[in-house]
Structure 1
Amino acid sequence: MTTAPARTTAPPSAPLVELHLPVPADPEKLPVGRLLAWGDQHEDAGVQDQATRARIALAGLRQRYAADQELNAITTEEEQLEQRLAELRARKGQLAPAAKPKRGRRPVDYPAAEVRAWAAANGMDCPAVGRVPKAVVDAWRAAQRPTSSA
Structure 2
Amino acid sequence: MRVSAAVVMQLHRDGYSDQRIADQTGAPLADVTAIIDTHKTLVARGKIPQPETPQAVPNAVALLAWGTNHPAAAVRQYADRALTALEALQNRHQHEEELLRIISQVDELQEQLNRLKTREAELKGKGRTTKPRPAPAARDYTPAEVRSWAQQAGVECAPVGIVPQTVVEQWRSATGRTTQ
Tell me which of the two structures has the higher relative contact order, counting C-alpha pairs closer than 8 angstroms and 6 or more residues apart.
1
What is the CA–CA distance in structure 2 between the aligned matches of 1:31 and 1:126, rounded to whole Å?
99
Give the counterpart of 2:66 among 28, 35, 41: 41
**1:59 is matched with which residue?**
90
Alpha-carbon contact 1:119-1:126 (below 8 Å) kept: yes
Any stretches of 5+ residues in structure 2 without a counterpart?
A: 1-51
What is the CA–CA distance in structure 2 between the aligned matches of 1:137 and 1:33, rounded to whole Å?
104
What is the CA–CA distance in structure 2 between the aligned matches of 1:30 and 1:121, rounded to whole Å?
109
**1:115 is matched with which residue?**
146
Over aligned residue pairs, what C-alpha RMSD do you find?
Answer: 3.8
Cα shift at 1:142: 5.2
Which runs of 4 or more aligned residues in structure 1 lie more than 6 Å from their structure 2 counterparts after TM superposition? Answer: 30-33
**1:69 is matched with which residue?**
100
Cα shift at 1:67: 1.3
Alpha-carbon contact 1:120-1:126 (below 8 Å) kept: yes
Structure-2-length-normalised TM-score: 0.46
Identity among equivalent pairs (%): 21
**1:21 is matched with which residue?**
none
Q: Deviations over 1:126-145 (max 9, x none)?
A: 444762423134257658xx
Question: 1:115 and 1:66, CA in 2 relative to 1: closer, same or farther beyond 3 A?
Answer: same
Structure-1-length-normalised TM-score: 0.53
Alpha-carbon contact 2:150-2:156 (below 8 Å) kept: yes
What is the CA–CA distance in structure 2 between the aligned matches of 1:33 and 1:68, rounded to whole Å?
31
User: Which residues in structure 2 correspond to 1:68-147 (within 5 Å)?
Assistant: 68-94=99-125, 100-103=131-134, 106=137, 110=141, 112=143, 115-123=146-154, 125-128=155-158, 131-133=164-166, 134-139=168-173
Matched length: 113
Alpha-carbon contact 2:150-2:157 (below 8 Å) kept: no
Q: Deviations over 1:39-66 (max 9, x none)?
A: 4423311101112101210221122112
Question: 1:138 and 1:59, CA in 2 relative to 1: closer, same or farther beyond 3 A?
Answer: same
